[in-house]
Amino acid sequence: MKKNLLIAAMSLVALAVPATPAFARSAAALDPEPISVKVSAVQLGGNPNRPTGILTVTVKNDSTRTERALFEIDLVSSLKLGPSTDCMPAVPNAPGRTLHKCGGWDLAPGKTVTVTVPLVAAQPEAAFGIALRGGHVRGESQDGRTGLPQDFFVTWPQQTTLGLGVVKDPLDPESVRVTARNTGTVALDAYSLIVMTPAGVTVTSTACLASDDGQFCEVKRDSKLAAGASDAFQLHLAVDGVKDVRFFLAPSARYTNSDTTATVSLG
């Protein structure tokens, strides 16, 4: 009777001992999803025709051993990767996708690395006031095991108002004073002034960059313009005879006000 009770007690003790974890049973056991990522939202700004932004990616080794950590970025067609030393195009790339592999850091268990990835708007025309899913990021180990994809969202610059004033210099019949006033509620990172240059009109100020077809030139103003602030500068022209010269702010799709153009008689 005592022998039977002892056997039963030993059986209960064996059942109470927890099972040995798989990774302890075998040194070769691998975590199926070792690399995870966290991503930030992206706000585009700067050049209104090709705004840029920064995607922040935090990569973590969720494995129980040191891993070589990478991540993969899959972008929508309206975005492209800016200059980056950590990312290279994936090969092969599926049609209609912009896929990049990034990184290659040796991370101990539980360790993280945070990197910034520049993004650039790639749509053919300037766009404003839109927000969309920019793509996803997925962690990956050197031997190809992948984590869960994480979506990130991108916001384009908002539409706003910017008033234009162009007046002839009273001391120089071929010079104008240009003023742009931010009448909106958001700061402007940059804007452009377009000067139409038909036959007989040339902008001699080097700040105005001529178009390939010679029909206009563009002055790019990159100084930050706070709400309510004004930006002013002088332009010199060479005019054959007397000409009406047209000026307008660009990109025109950004501005909802009507006073974004001016025509001045010069010469």
Domain ranges (residues) in the chain = 30-155, 162-266
Check residue 217 and give its pLDDT: 96
pLDDT digits (tens, 9 = 90+) for 210-235: 999 989 999 999 878 999 999 999 99
Nearest to 263 by CA among 241, 242, 246: 246
Same fold, 30-155 and 162-266: yes
pLDDT classification of 189: cutoffs 50, 70, 90: confident
162-266 maps to CATH 2.60.40.290: yes
> Over pLDDT 90: what percentage of the chain?
69
Check residue 62 and give its pLDDT: 95
Check residue 11 and give its pLDDT: 44
Two structure tokens written together for 107: 């991370």
Residues 82 and 59: their CA atoms lie apart, in Å, by 20
pTM above 0.85, yes or no: no
Mean pLDDT for 138-149 is 93
Chain Cα centroid distance, residue 139: 20
Q: Look at the domain 30-155 and name its fold.
A: Immunoglobulin-like (2.60.40)
14: Cβ contacts below 8 Å, ≥ 6 apart: none
Check residue 178 and give its pLDDT: 96
